[in-house]
Structure 1
Amino acid sequence: MTIGTITIQKLALADADVLLALSKKTFFDFFGHLNKPEDIEAYASVAFTPQKIQAELSNPNSHFYFAISNGEITGYLKLNYGPAQTEFQDPNAVEIERIYVLAEHHGKKIGHQFIDFTLKEAAGKNLQYVWLGVWEHNQKAIAFYEKHGFEVFSSHEFALGSDKQTDLLMRKAILSSSKPKA
């Protein structure tokens, strides 16, 4: 599906190696300099393994997508439905668990297009809201989500190695796409 200037392509199990490399790169690029190396390595040793990525790709309630621009993968998105959601498992919601764009592609509105895509997917499935967790110190991401109408509604603890961090939970209601009957 083409949204804006990118093509959004759903991943298959065969994409596991590319997704694993992209996941590691984006995570280390964004958070490596903000956290202790031992905490980043401890988290990565569990979160970014071939087995973990294959299991996530095999889950029918989790959907991964690449953003592709001019034939190049520029980022990825992970959506969780129902029991795959990390917190609520709400059948009336979808969770954005991961949304990452390679640093060299920032400013190209790829994140915006991922959000638009997610909102369209949620509306098409008649879901009530989209939610996500974002690190409380990631002010740029928080501002990005607020710009798209997400609001903080709770928080939870996130373990990055031995560092207990706080993620803000944000959500956005989905407007019904159905028109009232005359």
Structure 2
Amino acid sequence: MRPVASPLPIRCWPLSDRDQHTSPAGPSGTPASVTLTTDPADADELAAVAALTFPLACPPELSATDAAHFVADNLSTHHFRSHLADPDSHVFKAVEPESSAIVGYALLLDGEPTDPDVCEAITARPLTMISKMYVLPGFHGRAVSAGLMDAALSHGRTRHSALVWLGVNEQNVRAQRFYEKMGFTVMGRKSFIVNGKRCSDYVLARPPAV
């Protein structure tokens, strides 16, 4: 695995583990908690958070309609129910204690990458993918993302994954900075299709343990 030099820094929104994790306080002053969920009753709320947060990570060339198509095709209540029931999918939710509202989530997928560009960029196995990681805007900057990321890396260690990897849009500088701070390195590039439009992503990875 040879890191690829990146002209940009890095950005994101995070994850967690099978044990409960806490993040610095949200608006209520009480720390948000991050837990693994398999409860189908969470699917509606997870889908609502996904619909609000996915557009925030889209590059400028994608319209609101493009984002809405992607959400409908990939992040609906039905899709989350499927992930919650799939033993190779792991959904972590960040919950604001006073309201019990989900304020962020992460979706991890274990297994072989299906994208040939990722397979070329990362040869180590086994792998855990951070497929999605988003936090509601009102909770940005409160380390909810860091709590989610801690959980993701903990999951990777539990599974004995060689690397935890993810894709981030080349224009998403804020997320790139976050991932860089979390120890991720640019390994290559791949395409990400949204409503038929091809976007350019960096492929980032790091060992789950340091």
TM-score (norm 1): 0.84
Identity of aligned residues (%): 26
Structure-1 residue corresponding to 2:79:
52
Query: Structure 1 residue runs of 4+, over 6 Å off?
Result: none
Give distance in 2, aligned partners of 1:20 and 1:86: 24
Answer whether contact 1:32 1:40 (CA < 8 A) is retained. Answer: no
1:153 is paired with a residue of what secondary structure?
strand
Q: Does 1:166 align with 2:187?
A: no
Structure 1 position 124, deviation (Å): 2.5
Q: Does 1:142 align with 2:161?
A: no
Structure 1 position 52, deviation (Å): 2.3
Give distance in 1, aligned partners of 2:59 and 2:192: 16
1:149 is paired with a residue of what secondary structure?
coil
* 1:82-161 map, 5 Å: 82=111, 87=115, 92-161=126-195
Structure 1 position 116, deviation (Å): 1.4
Structure 1 position 10, deviation (Å): 1.9
Structure 1 position 69, deviation (Å): 2.7
Of 11, 21, 24, the match for 1:2? 21
Give distance in 2, aligned partners of 1:37 and 1:120: 34
Tell me the C-alpha RMSD between the 2 structures. Answer: 2.3
* 1:1-80 map, 5 Å: 1-4=20-23, 5-11=31-37, 12-31=39-58, 35-70=62-97, 71-80=100-109
Q: Structure 2 stretches of 5 or more lacking a match?
A: 1-19, 24-30
Q: Structure 1 stretches of 5 or more lacking a match?
A: 177-182
Give distance in 2, aligned partners of 1:86 and 1:7: 32
Whichever residue aligns with residue 81 of structure 1, its letter is D
> Which structure shows the bigger proportion of residues in helix conformation?
1
2:58 is paired with a residue of what secondary structure?
helix
Structure 1 position 106, deviation (Å): 0.6
Give distance in 2, aligned partners of 1:66 and 1:162: 29
Aligned length: 175
Whichever residue aligns with residue 160 of structure 1, its letter is V
Structure 1 position 34, deviation (Å): 5.9
TM-score (norm 2): 0.74
Higher RCO (C-alpha under 8 Å, 6+ residues apart): 2
